[in-house]
Chain A
Amino acid sequence: RKEVEQDPGPFNVPEGATVAFNCTYSNSASQSFFWYRQDCRKEPKLLMSVYSSGNEDGRFTAQLNRASQYISLLIRDSKLSDSATYLCVVRGNTGFQKLVFGTGTRLLVSP
């Protein structure tokens, strides 16, 4: 079983739609959680951290459920520029800040 699992998609949505991605992780000792965005043939970039209380950044909302070991990302009012692959990332409790990456969920927003 992979440490971090995501639905690879692709998710095809029209502009203005709301879309949600989910992710599960297997290591219950994981300490930090993130969503990264990766554009085609580019490096991953941090989109947002995920906190137990849930957090929002503009059109993006992230949630963490530690009991179920489940992370989600909600994108409201999708834009064409949101088309990318979204990586669920988990940091464990090692001393060297190791990140474990999911394989990513691809989002395609169409006009």
Chain B
Amino acid sequence: NAGVTQTPKFRVLKTGQSMTLLCAQDMNHEYMYWYRQDPGMGLRLIHYSVGEGTTAKGEVPDGYNVSRLKKQNFLLGLESAAPSQTSVYFCASIQGGVETQYFGPGTRLLVL
């Protein structure tokens, strides 16, 4: 089992460029989440999904879109990157009724 994987690990974007972050899990988990982590802010929930084909907004959804076409994949898109989106992005997944959230290794994004 690879657990939760994220691609890419690191990316530099220019303001206005777009990109997609991929999260994949091989544990057949129903719930998947995208967080961002900034200094002094803790992890904040961007979007989440409670199952294939469903997505919902978290605390800080503006500037991001998501899709969950397959149960094992959760994509996070930035349509027009801004410097404020410079952050570390973590994906996580959990099986319903179980307490432990499993995190991916993170994607470091720098927007210039």
- Residues of chain A whose beta carbon lies under 8 Å from any beta carbon of chain B: 2, 4, 8, 32, 34, 41-46, 49, 87, 91, 95-99, 101-104
Interchain CB contact under 8 A, A44 and B99: no
Interchain CB contact under 8 A, A32 and B99: yes
What distance in Å separates the Cβ of A9 from its nearest Cβ neighbour in chain B? 13
Extra inter-chain contacts (8) besides given A43-B103, A97-B96, CB under 8 Å: A2-B42, A42-B105, A45-B103, A46-B101, A96-B31, A101-B42, A101-B44, A103-B41
Interchain CB contact under 8 A, B45 and A44: no
Q: Which of A34, A41, A98 contacts B48 (CB 8 A)?
A: A98
Q: Which of A41, A49, A97 contacts B31 (CB 8 A)?
A: A97
Using an 8 Å CB-CB cutoff, how does the interface string of B26-48 with A read, 1 for contact, 0 for none? 00000100010000111111001
The DSSP consensus for interface residues of chain B is: strand
What distance in Å separates the Cβ of A23 from its nearest Cβ neighbour in chain B? 11
* Residue B90, interface by CB 8 Å: yes
Q: Which of B42, B43, B50 contacts A96 (CB 8 A)?
A: B50
A-B residue pairs in contact (CB < 8 Å), sample of 13:
A2-B42, A4-B42, A8-B40, A42-B106, A43-B90, A44-B90, A96-B48, A97-B101, A98-B48, A101-B44, A102-B42, A103-B41, A104-B42
- Residues of chain B whose beta carbon lies under 8 Å from any beta carbon of chain A: 31, 35, 40-45, 48, 50, 56, 58, 90, 94, 96, 99-101, 103-106
| 4 residue pairs, one from A and one from B, having the closest CB atoms | A43-B103, A103-B42, A101-B43, A101-B42
Interchain CB contact under 8 A, A96 and B105: no
Contact A44/B43 with A32-B99, A34-B99, A97-B31 known, Cβ cut-off 8 Å: yes
Q: Measured between alpha carbons, how far is A42 from B41 in the docked complex, in Å? A: 16
Q: Which of B45, B99, B106 contacts A49 (CB 8 A)?
A: B99
Q: Which residues of B contact A8 (CB under 8 A)?
A: 40
What distance in Å separates the Cβ of B104 from its nearest Cβ neighbour in chain A? 6
| Nearest-neighbor residue (CB-CB) of B31 within chain A | A97
| Nearest-neighbor residue (CB-CB) of A43 within chain B | B103
Q: Which residues of A contact B100 (CB under 8 A)?
A: 46
